[in-house]
Amino acid sequence: MEEDALNAPVPHVAAARFRAEAGTLYVVATPLGNLRDVTLRALDVLASADMIAAEDTRTSAILLRHYGILTRPVALHAHNEDQKLHAVAERLRAGRSVALISDAGTPAISDPGARLVQAIRAAGFPVVPIPGPSAVIAAVSAAGLAAASFVFVGFLPAQAKARRSLLEHLAVHAGALVFYEAPHRVVATIADLADVLGGDRDLVIAREITKKFESIVRLPLAGAAAWIAAEPQRQRGEFVLIVDSPVAATMPEGATMAPEQVRWLQALLEELPPARAARVVAAVTGLARDDVYARALTMKRP
C-alpha cells in the first residue's frame, strides 16, 4: 500500500496567475533570443505592472507585442538611468508597480539597472527578482567545464592596455573566467586571453545563444584567435567567452625545480602574470613550460 501511494501520479495543481503588487520594483529576466524562453511569471508581471522600464523600447516592444501586453515601455538605459531614478521612485511612492527589463536576459548583469535597483532599495521599496534567461548561466551550463567554480567578469575594457592589465590581475584565479564580448573586439580579446592567460587553457566560444545561428565551440586558447579570424561568420553576434581552469599542477611543490629556479619564478611573478613568468623560466632552465606554469599558479594564488 505504501509503495502504491509513493508511485501514484501527482495531482495537477493549477498555478495561480501572479500580479504585480503596488509600490514594488520587479527585475524581470526576458529571452536572450527565442521568445518561447520567457517564464509564465515574467509574463504575469509584465502584463500587470503599471510601468515597464526598458533598455530599448523598440527591442522590448517586439516581446510585449508578441504576448499581447499593451503597456508602452519607457526607456531606461545607460545614458539616462540616473535621471530616471526619481521618476521610478515617484511611481512607487504613488502606489504603482514597475517592471525593469533589458534588451535580453537578466537586467543589471552587464546591462543597465544596477543603479536603479540600488536607489530603490535604499528608498525602502521592495525589489523582487523574476528569474529567467541569463547568457552567462546558459553558456556555463553547456560548456562542460573542468573548473569547479567560475568568475563572471562581464565586458573587458575596450582599450588594449587596460584589458591586458585586468587579465593579468585575473590570471591567478584557479577557476574558469567568463566574459561578454562584442563582435568587433572578439578577435583582439581572444588574442589577449591567449597571450596573458596562456595558450594551453581551453576556451569555450558561445555565440548567439538560443538564436537561429547558435554556436558553442571548445578549442585550445592558443589557436582560438586564428580560428575565429579565419571565417567572418564566426565573428558575428553576441559572445560569451569562457576560459576554463588552468591545467592541473603536475609538479609537486618543491620537486624538480632547484631552489634558485623557484626564487627566479617568485621574483618574476612580482612583475609578470603567471603565463609570462613561466615562459621566461622555462626558456632559461629547459623545464616544461606547463609544469612551471602550474607551479606559478600555486605560488601566485592568494
> pLDDT per residue over 47-67, tens digit each?
999 999 999 999 999 999 999
Tell me the torsion sign for CA atoms 172, 190, 56, 83: positive
Contacts of 55 (CB under 8 A, 6+ apart): 75, 76, 77, 101, 102, 103, 107, 111, 112
Contacts of 239 (CB under 8 A, 6+ apart): 180, 181, 182, 183, 186, 205, 206, 207
Q: What's the pLDDT tens digit per position in 243-273?
A: 998 765 444 444 467 777 788 888 888 888 8
Separation of alpha carbons 167 and 44, rounded Å:
42
3-state secondary structure of 219: strand
Given a cut of 80, whether residue 5 has pLDDT beyond it is: no
Confidence of residue 10 (pLDDT cuts 50, 70, 90): low
Backbone angles phi and psi of 179, in degrees to 5:
-130, 150
Q: Which pairing describes strands 25-28 and 98-101: parallel, antiparallel, or unpaired?
A: parallel
pLDDT of residue 173: 80
pLDDT of residue 9: 60
Order of strands across the sheet that contains 74-75: 74-75, 51-54, 98-101, 25-28, 127-130
Separation of alpha carbons 296 and 174, rounded Å:
11
Separation of alpha carbons 113 and 115, rounded Å:
6
Q: What's the pLDDT tens digit per position in 95-139?
A: 999 999 999 999 999 999 999 999 999 999 999 999 999 999 999
Name which of 33-42, 93-102, 183-192, 241-250 the model is least confident about: 241-250
With a threshold of 0.85, does the pTM exceed it?
no
Mean pLDDT (the chain, rounded): 89
Separation of alpha carbons 279 and 8, rounded Å:
63
- Taking a C-beta distance cutoff of 8 angstroms, is the pair 33, 208 a contact? yes
For the residues of 41-96, what is the DSSP string, one character each? HHHHHHHH-SEEEES-HHHHHHHHHHTT--PPPEE--TTTHHHHHHHHHHHHHTT-
How many whole angstroms from its chain centre is CA 65?
28
How many whole angstroms from its chain centre is CA 241?
9
Q: What's the DSSP call for residue 298?
A: H
Q: What's the pLDDT tens digit per position in 213-240?
A: 999 999 999 999 999 999 999 999 999 9
pLDDT of residue 4: 57
- Taking a C-beta distance cutoff of 8 angstroms, is the pair 104, 32 a contact? yes
